[in-house]
Amino acid sequence: MAAFVPLMEARLDGRASQTPSPSSRRPVVKPARLRPGDTVGLVIPSSANWDATEVDILLDALDELGLKGRLGAHVFDRRGYFAGRDEDRAADINAMFADPAVKAIHCIRGGWGAARLLPLLDWDTIAKHPKILQGYSDITALLLSLHHKTGLVTFHGPNGASVWNAFNVDWMKRVTWKGEATTFRNLSEPTEAIVQTEHRTRTITKGTARGTLLGGNLTVLTAILGSPYVPDFTGSILFVEDVQEAPYRIDRMLTQLSLAGILKQVRGVVWGTCSRCDPGEGFGSLTIPDVLIDHLAPLGVPAFHGAMIGHVDRQFTLPVGIEVELDATAGTLRMLEPAVI
């Protein structure tokens, strides 16, 4: 694994203590693991689905895995760019948590709109019926708010409309089916090159750190800052990713995290991918690596980038709210406990 220049050493005290539990952080609640034959509820909390074939593929994929898919009542609704009215999209989520036959909830796609549902969710029902909730991108609003409001461990992983390849299925099974306390390490595939050329990570600041894994899509995280749905990041390991954002926009959002005090609270940072985030034509633009160095290197905490997290065909299923150990030198995240029971 290569390293950024300049490379900084983390300022750590050498102790492997667990993350403190601030008064605003609820006790962790782990959902039951998935088992063959279980029913998975399928919802669309954000943008409308434009192709019913995507839903057919998802249902077939679940069937191939030995699971049963149950569509939300409003999956095929549309209101402008949303998958129906806010009230109806929220009702589908509430219904899936209330339904004892549904063992997990999978979000079919992201886009925009999940944050609009937060005031409409039935938090008491969600707390009483903890279940696996999985998705990424705009689903970040749900992943973080559910963990903050109820303590529920949620899962940043492929949406239903994502590619159901062997890599994605394997990580989903390891984390949400088998209950492994696994280590997330980028794929290393043999190629004609004599060294690894794809899925490489780069160190920003060397070192290891432990904390609660929190994060998701950078745009969505910054959009809900200042609301009552954001967890306490004190002592956390922050992971972030994004897609199709110019470097100046990533710079602006990381600046917002810094001004809000979030970056000063974390013990380590993992940057995943930023697909289609090139500086573009012209002279003078910073690059994403430049922006990361500007914001993360001065923190003095272990940090690396390039993890298989984000808008990519092959991505990890990360448990939001679980204790992990980050090794920025090796480019890994190690779960310190299972995420399901």
Give the CATH number for residue 215.
3.50.30.60
Question: Looking at 241, 245, 323, 325, which residue is catalytic?
Answer: 241
Mean pLDDT by 10 residues, the chain (341 residues): 47 38 77 98 95 93 97 97 98 98 97 98 98 98 98 97 94 98 91 79 98 98 97 98 94 98 98 88 81 98 97 96 98 98 98
| 281 assigned to active site | no
Confidence at residue 190, expressed as pLDDT on a 0 to 100 scale: 74
Q: Which run of H or of E encompasses 96? A: helix 86-98
Return d(Cα 156, Cα 269) in angstroms, integer.
Answer: 16
Say if residue 108 is in the same domain as residue 159: yes
Whole domain around residue 260: which residue ranges? 2-25+182-335
205 in a structural domain: yes
46 in a structural domain: yes
Query: Which domain-ending residue is among 162, 177, 192?
Result: 177
Say if residue 163 is in the same domain as residue 20: no
**Nearest to residue 40, comparing CAs of 18, 72, 8?**
72
Confidence at residue 106, expressed as pLDDT on a 0 to 100 scale: 97
| 148 assigned to active site | no
**Nearest to residue 154, comparing CAs of 309, 26, 27, 320?**
320
Confidence at residue 225, expressed as pLDDT on a 0 to 100 scale: 97
Confidence at residue 262, expressed as pLDDT on a 0 to 100 scale: 97
Written as six digits, the tokens of 315 are 């991505």
| 241 assigned to active site | yes
Say if residue 152 is in the same domain as residue 239: no
Written as six digits, the tokens of 318 are 């990360």
Confidence at residue 331, expressed as pLDDT on a 0 to 100 scale: 97
Confidence at residue 195, expressed as pLDDT on a 0 to 100 scale: 79
Confidence at residue 50, expressed as pLDDT on a 0 to 100 scale: 83
Query: Which domain-ending residue is among 153, 177, 201?
Result: 177
Return d(Cα 187, Cα 235) in angstroms, integer.
Answer: 28
Q: How many domains does the chain have?
A: 2
Question: Looking at 47, 137, 145, 236, which residue is catalytic?
Answer: 137
Q: Computed from CA positions of residues 126, 132, 134, 140, in that sequence, does the dihedral angle turn out positive or negative?
A: positive
